[in-house]
Structure 1
């Protein structure tokens, strides 16, 4: 009995084990079936895509960057000259494993590449090296010269770089292309402001590969075409730009100034004909500059206290409200007391009875204050706004600043007084130029622009149309002030800006600058400005000259004014404007 019971228990135990094993096998098979269903039905698309990707390759299509061009009217009416283009260069490299006589190659190649012989030898002597770059950005002529040498193991790769044919002429206006991470992007000037339009849009090309990675000719391909960048045509005139920039360079060097700026504009349209900075830099070697501040365009980036040129603006407001006429007189005692402050003439002298034209001719601070007081603080501030101070011009170049007229906005008499002769507030050279352009243009303020056309790759051309902003002063006021400013050049401090046979209107400005060491104005540190237009009766151009901290010359009448006269002489001849008398 006991033996039978043990046999029964053993049989039952085996049965339970078989049952459990069957259940486990069933569950395992069930999981496999579920997974197969999941893979075959629910995730079929995913794994199909993954499989296809193993045979697909994608190539990024890089668009051609648009060019930047300037007008070359001397060469022809519709002739454009490249200021920024994409140019083919070459990388010369060596395959050291293919060079048998290293010494011979070094002796021949080193002088051609302008390389040190020892340095070149070290590169060519690397064992098992199949690729050793030697020099980039070789011109086509240099490549041909090296190829003619028939050197073993010397090869070339084509490369495309941004190239700037004008080098340092107008560098701050054009800007350059540099790296941001792994991407090339525009920096400063037109290159920076118009980055999106110039760069275009990248495309892609997806194609199938075989097991060896080769393109399958008949396989399905998809392509999203790239869009090449647009070309920009600037309003700059190449002949005017070259002459203005070279003349500025000579003057800056002559007087040892820290910096110089020239801007020339058509007052009737707002088109910029020239915009120069000195010191400048070669755009093709922008990374070799010692101070990156040189990249900034002083015409729009560096607000400053413009000095006595603003007497012309103060006088415009006074004439416009009827506060004065050219013949209005006052007694110049040499000083004016306002709110406990004593303001002197720049020469420290009293000049007696003077009329408003003489105030401009002799650049009297007391007379500018007298004229401003007839306007009043509220209206004076409004006129400054109407002339465009404290606001962007919208020139469409990178890094434009707006200056600071906060003091004038307080509408205190002392701030109006100092502003009437160009101190206590800041403006960019372009803002000052544009204000005088309105005077030249019968009181009409135009929006300055430097982009003449945007030429899209599909053939569409966007032409900039001159934009009238507002009538600042009456036409009568503008004509009267123009005659007064012409008297400044003919009889006053600005006689060195004169051009024989032409009526030139203009005003000098010599402004004390702040000494960075003391934080106070210094009579020894000044900025010199001259702004004017010609001919007075029908102005073809308005021009501003600015010199930062010139040495060995006291007044703008002796530094900026002569430069104006020199460039004006060229312009009047170049534009074929007949003499006025």
Structure 2
């Protein structure tokens, strides 16, 4: 009797010890499933019982100075079918659709389109995409047939009505790695976050077989259209400049060229043309090297067009006047192992600063640079905007390269004075020259 009671007592003790252990295990498992795995499981449940439809946002336009469209968005349509609502045979549906549709990117001929539609309708899904990018006319023809089960979604396509005009200003719209619409290069790239707007969403509940629950939870977030961008580009000037540039390049056998037209008092860019160029609406058909704007992304040695900037700096510092005579201009200037010569090897002893510009005299510019010295020389380059971006709203702008005051040797100061050994962009160069026209006031380009 006592032995049995002892066994029972031991069992009770074991059970008493096991209860908190089992309870602890349950708590741990509940913590694991509800806290650690809870969000993941909730997301899985949502995917099984909810469907989310993305509503595309209409991209903003890019406009010229008169409000004309340089880059716009066409409103097209995506045709789909919900097969459980279809009341005619697939063959009848295909033939009726063919009477309203024109071949497109899915199929290039009517016979190919017929096969494509049959293939789509043979899919096991209840909801099937049939054709993208239908025009308003195609949509109206299909709507007029009142075919049960067919539906449409808005689709947007970027277009450039002037084809290749202002291509390097505009850039283009492609897709990123995730297949989402993305602006690249030019204004499309630089201001993409403003142009693209915000997508909308429709979230609905669905039953076990994927059908919408009409009385279920329904959430709707409107798409927000992108902002339109007004540019300073004058379409007429842009057209003339591009044609003249192309004619000049062909006539003189050049490989490339670019032109910028800037309004002096405001810094407004009225035209900016490059050749070769491309059609942003067909960008994939062109070599990638033409995508970027050479006016903002390519560096070059300015050469003699740099001379007026250095001359103006020295005059502004009252180190020289237009009548100041150069006392080192009678022949080549030797600096270490280097010899600085004029471009035509003609020399003008005691020439005036005015004539230094007239004759594009390299030795005269060395004289001016020495008057300035490395400190003032470097300071004025920065004031002109060299070595930094202008801030023009075009993607891929580069800053260029200039030396710091402490990096200047005698030969560097000399060659920089006539635009060699320095790298600038065309937009930097015209903006700097514009500073002289504005009586020394730097105006950022727009």
Fold shared, TM-score > 0.5 on shorter chain: yes
Larger deviation, residues 59-68 vs 389-398? 59-68
* 3-state DSSP of counterpart to 2:364: helix
Aligned-CA RMSD value: 4.7
SS in 1 for 2:372: coil
Q: Which runs of 5+ in 1 are unaligned?
A: 1-7, 73-79, 450-581
Matched, 1:294 2:281: no
2:168 corresponds to which residue?
172
CA distance in 1 between partners of 2:56 and 2:102 (Å)? 34
Any idea what SS the aligned residue of 2:64 has? Answer: strand
**DSSP-derived class of the 1:245 partner:** helix
Whole-Å separation in 2 of the counterparts to 1:338 and 1:201 = 61
Aligned-partner SS, 1:185? strand
The correspondence of residues 465-476 of structure 1 with structure 2, limited to 5 A, is none
Tell me which residue corresponds to 1:194: 191
Decide whether the 8 Å contact of 2:259 with 2:274 is kept in 1. yes
Stretches of structure 2 that go unaligned for 5 or more consecutive residues are 81-88, 146-150
Partner of 2:84: none
Deviation (angstroms), 1:362 = 2.0
Q: CA 1:409–1:273 in 2, change beyond 3 Å: closer, same or farther?
A: farther
Check conservation: 2:196, 2:226, Cα contact below 8 A: yes
Q: Deviation string for 1:435-483 (max 9, x for gaps)?
A: 111111111111222xxxxxxxxxxxxxxxxxxxxxxxxxxxxxxxxxx
- Map 1:13-28 onto structure 2 (within 5 A): none
The answer for the alignment partner of 2:391 in structure 1 is 394
Distance 1:56 1:146, change over 3 A: closer
* Distance across 2 between alignment mates of 1:336 and 1:132: 80
**Shift of residue 245 of structure 1?**
2.0
| 1:378-397 Cα distance to aligned partner (Å, 9 max, x none) | 21121112111111111132
- 8 A contact 2:269–2:445 mirrored in 1: yes
Determine if contact 1:418/1:424 at 8 Å carries over to the other structure.
Answer: yes
Task: Supply the distance in 2 between the matched residues of 1:429 and 1:284 (Cα, whole angstroms).
Answer: 26
1:240 to 2:237 alignment: yes
**Alpha-carbon separation, structure 2, partners of 1:300 and 1:420:** 23
Residues in 1 aligned to 2:369 and 2:325: alpha-carbon distance in whole angstroms: 14
- Counterpart check, 1:323 vs 2:344: no
Q: Please name the residue that 1:368 is paired with.
A: 365
**Residues 301-351 of structure 1 deviation map (CA, whole Å, 9 limit, x = unaligned):** 011101101110111122122232222233643422222311111112234
Look up the SS of the partner of 2:363 in the other structure. Answer: helix
Alignment of 1:265-284 (within 5 A): 265-284=262-281
Counterpart in 2 of 1:337?
A: 334
Q: Give runs of aligned pairs for residues 369-518 of structure 1, distance below 5 A.
A: 369-406=366-403, 410-449=407-446
2:64 paired residue among 50, 59, 70: 70
Distance apart, 1:414 and its partner CA: 1.4
Does structure 2 retain, via aligned residues, the 8 Å contact 1:408–1:415? no
**Whole-Å separation in 1 of the counterparts to 2:295 and 2:79:** 41
CA distance in 2, matches of 1:412, 1:123: 71
- Distance, in Å, in 1 between the alignment partners of 2:299 and 2:45 is 60
Residues 368 and 420, structure 1, Cα contact 8 Å, conserved in 2: yes
Mapping 1:89-168, distance limit 5 Å:
89=76, 98=91, 115=108, 143=138, 159-168=155-164
CA distance in 2, matches of 1:312, 1:262: 19
Q: Is the 8 A contact 1:97 1:127 kept in 2?
A: no
User: Which residue of structure 1 lines up, in the alignment, with residue 50 of structure 2?
Assistant: 56
Report the secondary structure of 2:321's partner residue.
coil
Partner deviation per Cα, 1:31-68 (whole Å, 9 max, x = no partner) = 79x969x98xx969x69968974543333343332222
> Residues 335 and 126 (structure 1 numbering): CA distance in 2 closer, same or farther, change over 3 Å?
same
Q: In the alignment, which residue of structure 2 is the partner of 1:250?
A: 247
Q: 1:314 aligns with which of 310, 315, 328?
A: 310
Residue deviations 1:503-531, cap 9 Å, x none? xxxxxxxxxxxxxxxxxxxxxxxxxxxxx
The corresponding residue for 1:86 is: 73
Judge conservation of contact 1:345–1:364 (CA < 8 Å) in 2.
yes
Give 1 or 2: higher strand fraction: 1
Correspondence for 1:356 among 345, 353, 356: 353
From the superposition, tell whether residues 321 and 195 of structure 1 become closer, same or farther in structure 2 (CA, over 3 Å).
Answer: same
SS of residue paired to 2:445: coil
Query: When the two structures are superposed, what TM-score results if normalisation uses the length of structure 2?
Result: 0.76
Cα distance change of structure 1 residues 210 and 396 upon mapping to structure 2, 3 Å threshold:
same
Q: 2:181 aligns with which of 161, 164, 184?
A: 184
> Distance between the aligned counterparts of 1:205 and 1:109, measured in 2?
30
Say which SS state the counterpart of residue 87 (structure 1) adopts.
strand
Distance 1:272 1:232 in 2: 15
Q: Deviations over 1:215-242 (max 9, x none)?
A: 4444443344444322211122222222
